[in-house]
Amino acid sequence: GQAPATLPEFAAWKSLNDLIVHSANTMETRRDAIGSGVLTPSDKLFVRNNLPAPDASIAADRDAWSVNIDGVNNPRALTIAELKTMGVETVASVLQCSGNGRAFFPHGAGGTQWSVGAAGCVLWTGVPLKTVVNALGGVADGMNYITSTGGEELPAGLDPKTIQVERSIPLAALDRAMLVWELNDNPLPVTHGGPLRMVIPGYYGVNNVKYVNNVAFTPAQTDTKIQVSSYRVRDIGVKGSADQPSMWEMNVKSWVTSPLETASRGRTMIYGVAFGGSQAVASIDVSLDGGQNWQAARFLGPDLGQFAWRPFVLAADLAPGEYRVVSRATDSQGNSQPENRIDNERGYGHNGWKDHGITLKVT
């Protein structure tokens, strides 16, 4: 394994044994820490911050946190206390970094070398953005995007546009967007965006803006660097630009979580997780011979809805030997994981089943 590391102050409450600490701003869940988990406990959930996290004191008076809503017919600022009177829903969804799986790109894609653990399935509680917007007279005419701004204090002397976490997503996502104040039934930790976070189920992590203090319906996408040129899928060696696909909706994906290295001969339960991304996951197949023969595995535990992942299990009778174990999920629209990754400069969106396999030694 990994060299021992310590957790940064703002994530000191996390379970160090279940995490790989890549840097002070990036920690991933160990592949063997998920097992058959329907939900990811908060202390095992990965962390990724583009900017240093704000001080814990921003959550001293949670209900007083205020978010400005713009680009609606009656724009105004609302406190969390007010949001809590407007409506409440709980949704289970996969939070996954755009670069999850980056470590598998052989060209050495720049950025945190995430394996499979920049993802988790959690419960979010908050108010649907649509409810808020309806209370403010609806979306103003001519708006095409939802633009959310992170509340970090920006270091002085730098152009805010180059560092601010402000992301735009298509207006169509208004059907699923939520302003959330709870994670897994507890007040949303500052580590994960408390007191208030924008959550867009089915969209990559970067669109789930933490410490959100401004939500604007806008005609065009924001001109921040994180929108215009970062999080864009392009060929190796090509610079990021606004004409390339943005990391919005997630694709179908799965991976085995246990066992990962060795097993004893005889009956072995092979576990993993599968999700459809923007669609529900429909089925999961597992191969013990690197993808030549496939068997249907079964989903385990309750179905927490379209945006959740589902643990799966396959009972296998294994003779001594070496097995290449791979899994391939299919979503409700019939999209299956491809065999291979699509090489791209920053190593985004990897859902190829081959790279995500494991080699099991049975003795």
Which residues of the shown chain bind ligand MSS in the complex (CB under 6 A)? 45-51, 95, 97-98, 150, 152, 165, 192-193, 204-206, 208-211
CB of 211 to ligand MSS, least distance (A): 5
191 vs 287, beta carbon nearer ligand MSS: 191
Please, what is the end-to-end C-alpha distance for the chain in angstroms? Answer: 21
CB of 353 to ligand MSS, least distance (A): 21
Q: Nearest CA to 25 among 14, 35, 11? A: 11
48 vs 310, beta carbon nearer ligand MSS: 48
CB of 262 to ligand MSS, least distance (A): 30
143 vs 247, beta carbon nearer ligand MSS: 247
CB of 51 to ligand MSS, least distance (A): 5
CB of 10 to ligand MSS, least distance (A): 10
Prior bond of 195 cis (ω within 30°): yes
Q: Nearest CA to 354 among 273, 256, 264? A: 256
Question: How far, rounded to the nearest angstrom, does the alpha carbon of residue 113 sit from its chain's CA centroid?
Answer: 15
Q: Are 354 and 291 in contact, with CB atoms under 8 Å apart?
A: yes
Q: Nearest CA to 205 among 148, 154, 161, 153? A: 148
Q: In angstroms, rounded to a whole number, what is the distance separating the alpha carbons of residues 333 and 10?
A: 40
Phi, psi of 344 (to 5 degrees): -155, 150
Q: Nearest CA to 234 among 337, 346, 340, 339? A: 346
66 vs 330, beta carbon nearer ligand MSS: 66
47 vs 282, beta carbon nearer ligand MSS: 47
Q: In angstroms, rounded to a whole number, what is the distance separating the alpha carbons of residues 250 and 201?
A: 9
Mark out the alpha helices in 24-115 (DSSP H runs).
80-86
CB of 316 to ligand MSS, least distance (A): 33
247 vs 316, beta carbon nearer ligand MSS: 247
